[in-house]
Amino acid sequence: MKFTEQKIVETLKINYMPYAMSVIVSRAIPEIDGLKPSHRKLLYTMYKMGLLHGAKTKSANVVGQTMKLNPHGDMAIYETLVRLTTGNGALLHPLVESKGNFGRVYARDMKFAAPRYTEVKLSEISSELFRDIDKDTVDFTDNYDGTMKEPVLLPTVFPNILVNPNQGIAVGMASNICSFNLKEVCDATIAYIKNDNIKLIDYLKAPDFSTGGELIYNEKDLKKIYETGRGSFKVRARYRFDKKNNCIEIYEIPYTTTSEAIIDSITDLVKSGKIKDITDVRDETGLSGLKIALDIKRSADPDNLMNRLFKLTPLEDSFGCNFNILVNGKPQVLGVKGILDHWIEFRMMCIRRQTAFDIKKKSERLHLLEGLSKILLDIDKAIRIIRGTEKEDQVVPNLMKGFGIDQAQAEFIAEIKLRNLNKEYIIKQTSNIESLRAEIADLKDIYNKESRILDIICRQLKEISKKYGQPRKTGIINEKHVEVITEEVLIEDYNVKLFLTKQGYLKKIPLTSLRASGEQKIKEDDEIIQEIEARNKNELILFSDQYVAYKLRIHEINDCKASQLGEYLENILETSPGERILYMTATEDYSGFMLFSFENGKCAKIPLSSYETKTNRKKLANAYSDVSPLCDIRFLQEDRELVAFSNIDKVLVFNTANINPKTTRNSNGVQVLRSKKGSLMTMIKELDEVKFKDFDYYRTKNIPAVGYYLKEEDKGENQVTMF
């Protein structure tokens, strides 16, 4: 086998570039009339078939006829036709009126019927795409086999490029043009023609889609799109709440998604447990239109639930704009004003060509009538010339010679029927000469004056706006009135109980589940050392014997049942080997204090806010002092009295208000219980945990203090250490 060495750059130029350019220029990118070649060929075929005013015909007939201009498979052509129909609803102003099942733009799985079952004709607004096409308004070119002509562009009377959406993917570039309200586009174009310096956003409020929904209005983003042709905006679904059936009904969705995609997304959220307020999801789309029904729990807030769904599902979606269009065969990304500039220039050219066509036709008619007027003076002479001419081919030359007229005029006179060679007929015909001259003069004035052409464009736009304009389908809601969907909003909030075991297992059980559960399951040699109540949105701080504080968001811990062991903290926190969790506390706003008590008799009161971090750090070193061994940890929401014990039976009742807080987490603290004979503080208790007959005996107003020996009568209490 022989191989020929080729330069890759040259090979790409020869083989790949023609294909790439063909896709860009002849397939994927729309032109200034708002149509791709496939759309234009299809619509022109229907126009030539007389489907603008006639009855509907089978789609299969249209598809077959279109193949004369578009050498593609029948299904490719039919899919192009489907998107243009009223039945499919993809366009704000459908160009094809349809009968039968054409699917729906918002339904992924609703397939259109075969072309032999459906019927189509051109819609009324399509007549505005073809207006005066027979008056040389646009260029025509040969079709692919040279057997017939087709228009290069359609002479659209309104900026269809902005009114109907268009999406295409070429080679190395793409186009994505959103649709705008027809009335707003016409008003904006008229205003722009009259004043180049208008603020477009005053006239063109925002994009408008056939599927409705609500556009989240951000003036800065829209201005960027209008100026550059690039950017994005968000559109969200519309819904209503049926109180009677406790059901949310979604009846309009973003243009960029489908009802099936939304239902699949909601179903996944329910299955994964991220959304617990939805009991059933149903697609109730029917002849009346789109409807997705969500059955929700009685306790659920429908607006709050929808806000969460907007964040987590395609019920709120972005539309990315890329206004890439072909202008004179070259792809350009243009802002709205740039598009309008090129469309106005194109439309002016169409009107000039139409005017030139009318001037030519009327001038030809005037020329013939002027010749006819010359024989009015002597009709008998004309009859004598015709009668006296022996040969037929000499009639025209003899008339030319007899009346001093040219061949065209003579041919016209010669073709007049004998019955019309009378004074009345000729006077009637020639009476239009002056009005024709006035009309031609007026047309020439239009042709030469740009201002008059622009006036015609404005007049036509006003007619279009009045005739076809319709209210906006997509609502506009200001970004300021849209609730910012933070991660906090997305978390389901409910009461939970947390259990910490000595061997490092953590259980999170919803209180609703706890009420129906039995005894807590733990390992045989394990025990529960702490249990606290919290909310699912709270943060959890866990303190270890290695002077480390670990932080967890409670909603990130899996719910479990009493019959389960729970989460093993070593796996979640990635603790060091042998490290043990001693204490945990839950917080919503980091208010309150942590009180650390040490064997040397000192207590450190650290604001819980000292453990709050701006970044999402999950491990904080130096969480408390390591100078002396720890004998107690506890959380204080507010100051209160506590009881301190030493290993020589000294007891002190003190108030934590006397301990000054320290913002440094590993502060050594303040002396509370003074050592006597080398004694150590062994534990801290709440007042209700001990049964002293006389608390005042042990109470002190000032710290530090040595404390008081435990009375014999109070020694009956079973004092135990935490560790």
CATH number for the domain that contains residue 352: 1.10.268.10
User: 446 and 516: one domain?
Assistant: no
User: 253 and 358: one domain?
Assistant: no
In a domain, 418, yes or no: yes
Residue 64 is predicted with a pLDDT of 95
Interatomic CA distance for residues 348 and 453, integer angstroms: 6
Task: Indicate the pLDDT class of residue 722, thresholds 50, 70 and 90.
Answer: very low
Say what percent of the chain tops pLDDT 90.
Answer: 61
User: 574 and 688: one domain?
Assistant: yes
CA dihedral 484, 488, 494, 498 (to 10 degrees): 180
CATH number for the domain that contains residue 570: 2.120.10.90
Is there a contact between 151 and 139 (Cβ–Cβ < 8 Å)?
yes
Interatomic CA distance for residues 658 and 705, integer angstroms: 12
User: 243 and 96: one domain?
Assistant: no
User: 523 and 657: one domain?
Assistant: yes
Interatomic CA distance for residues 618 and 97, integer angstroms: 62
| Total Cβ atoms within 10 A of residue 414 | 15
* DSSP letter string, 362-390: HHHHHHHHHHHHHHHTTHHHHHHHHHH-S
CA distance to 224, 561, 676, 711, per residue, from 336 (Å): 10, 59, 86, 91
Among 45, 63, 55, CA closest to 99: 55
CA distance to 558, 575, 591, 604, 707, per residue, from 633 (Å): 26, 19, 17, 10, 21
Residue 412 is predicted with a pLDDT of 83
Give residue 465's identity as a one-letter amino acid code.
S
End-to-end CA distance of the chain: 83
| Residue numbers of the domain that contains 380 | 346-466
Residue 485 is predicted with a pLDDT of 59
Q: What are the structure tokens assigned to 273, written together?
A: 């447990």
Q: What are the structure tokens assigned to 629, written together?
A: 């061994």
User: 73 and 141: one domain?
Assistant: yes
Q: Name, of 373-382, 487-496, 569-578, the range with top average pLDDT.
A: 569-578
User: 390 and 455: one domain?
Assistant: yes
List, by residue number, the catalytic residues.
Answer: 117
Long-range contacts of 187-196 (CB under 8 A, 24+ apart): 187/465, 188/336, 188/340, 189/158, 189/159, 189/340, 189/343, 189/344, 189/457, 189/461, 190/458, 190/461, 190/462, 192/337, 192/340, 192/344, 193/344, 193/454, 193/457, 193/458, 194/458
Residue 15 is predicted with a pLDDT of 78
Residue 174 is predicted with a pLDDT of 86
Interatomic CA distance for residues 325 and 29, integer angstroms: 6
In a domain, 151, yes or no: yes
| Residue 718 pLDDT greater than 50, yes or no | no
What is the H or E stretch that residue 46 is in?
Answer: helix 37-48
Interatomic CA distance for residues 329 and 309, integer angstroms: 44
Q: Alpha helix locations (H) across 590-721?
A: 695-698
What single DSSP character describes residue 32?
A: T
Q: What are the structure tokens assigned to 86, written together?
A: 């009223």
Q: What is the phi/psi pair of residue 606, to 5°?
A: -110, 125
Residue 488 is predicted with a pLDDT of 59
In a domain, 175, yes or no: no
User: 362 and 310: one domain?
Assistant: no
pLDDT in tens, 64-105: 999 999 888 899 999 999 999 999 999 999 999 999 999 999
Residue 1 is predicted with a pLDDT of 62
> In whole numbers, what is the pLDDT of the chain averaged over residues?
89
Interatomic CA distance for residues 614 and 421, integer angstroms: 102
What is the H or E stretch that residue 39 is in?
Answer: helix 37-48
| Residue 160 pLDDT greater than 90, yes or no | yes
Residue 383 is predicted with a pLDDT of 79
Task: Indicate the pLDDT class of residue 604, thresholds 50, 70 and 90.
Answer: very high
Mean pLDDT of 460-489: 85
Interatomic CA distance for residues 296 and 285, integer angstroms: 19
Mean pLDDT of 582-591: 93
Residue 694 is predicted with a pLDDT of 86
User: 526 and 613: one domain?
Assistant: yes
CATH number for the domain that contains residue 123: 3.90.199.10
Interatomic CA distance for residues 214 and 196, integer angstroms: 30
Q: Which of 314, 330, 355 is the last residue of a domain?
A: 314
Residue count of the chain: 723
pLDDT in tens, 530-566: 999 999 889 999 999 999 999 998 988 888 888 888 8
User: 630 and 505: one domain?
Assistant: yes
More confident residue, 393 or 188: 188
Give residue 409's identity as a one-letter amino acid code.
Q
| Residue 482 pLDDT greater than 80, yes or no | no
Interatomic CA distance for residues 554 and 568, integer angstroms: 14
Strand order in the sheet with 505-510: 528-535, 495-501, 505-510, 567-568
C-alpha torsion sign, points 33, 38, 42, 44: positive
Q: What is the phi/psi pair of residue 281, to 5°?
A: -125, 125
| Residue 195 pLDDT greater than 60, yes or no | yes
In a domain, 105, yes or no: yes
Is there a contact between 314 and 265 (Cβ–Cβ < 8 Å)?
yes
In a domain, 722, yes or no: no
Instruction: Tell me which residue has tokens 């973003």.
Output: 254
Count: domains in the chain = 4
User: Which residues are CB-neighbours of 426 under 8 A, at least 6 positions away?
Assistant: 372, 373, 375, 376, 379, 420
| Residue 217 pLDDT greater than 90, yes or no | yes
pLDDT in tens, 639-657: 999 999 999 888 999 999 9
| Residue 53 pLDDT greater than 60, yes or no | yes
| Residue 147 pLDDT greater than 70, yes or no | yes
Task: Indicate the pLDDT class of residue 720, thresholds 50, 70 and 90.
Answer: very low
Say what percent of the chain tops pLDDT 70.
Answer: 96
Residue 407 is predicted with a pLDDT of 87
Q: Name, of 29-38, 279-288, 518-527, the range with top average pLDDT.
A: 29-38
Q: Which of 99, 124, 156 is the last residue of a domain?
A: 156
More confident residue, 108 or 189: 189
User: 524 and 654: one domain?
Assistant: yes
Q: Of 45-54, 508-517, 703-712, which gets the smallest average pLDDT?
A: 508-517
Between strands 475-478 and 214-217, the pairing is: parallel
User: 452 and 580: one domain?
Assistant: no
Mean pLDDT of 140-160: 94
Mean pLDDT of 337-347: 96
Is there a contact between 564 and 603 (Cβ–Cβ < 8 Å)?
no
Residue 515 is predicted with a pLDDT of 67
Is there a contact between 41 and 71 (Cβ–Cβ < 8 Å)?
no
Q: Which of 445, 466, 487 is the last residue of a domain?
A: 466
Q: Alpha helix locations (H) across 254-335?
A: 259-272, 302-312
Give residue 505's identity as a one-letter amino acid code.
Y
| Residue 723 pLDDT greater than 60, yes or no | no
Among 24, 20, 59, 25, CA closest to 42: 59
Cα angle: 591, vertex 592, 593; to 5 degrees? 130
| Residue 719 pLDDT greater than 50, yes or no | no
Task: Indicate the pLDDT class of residue 221, thresholds 50, 70 and 90.
Answer: very high
What is the H or E stretch that residue 544 is in?
Answer: strand 539-544
In a domain, 366, yes or no: yes
In a domain, 320, yes or no: no
What single DSSP character describes residue 480?
A: G
In a domain, 12, yes or no: no
| Total Cβ atoms within 10 A of residue 677 | 7
Interatomic CA distance for residues 511 and 497, integer angstroms: 6
More confident residue, 716 or 277: 277
User: Which residues are CB-neighbours of 145 under 8 A, at least 6 positions away?
Assistant: none
CATH number for the domain that contains residue 284: 3.30.1360.40
Q: What are the structure tokens assigned to 152, written together?
A: 């290069």
- SS3 letters for 63-76? HHHHCCCCCCCHHH
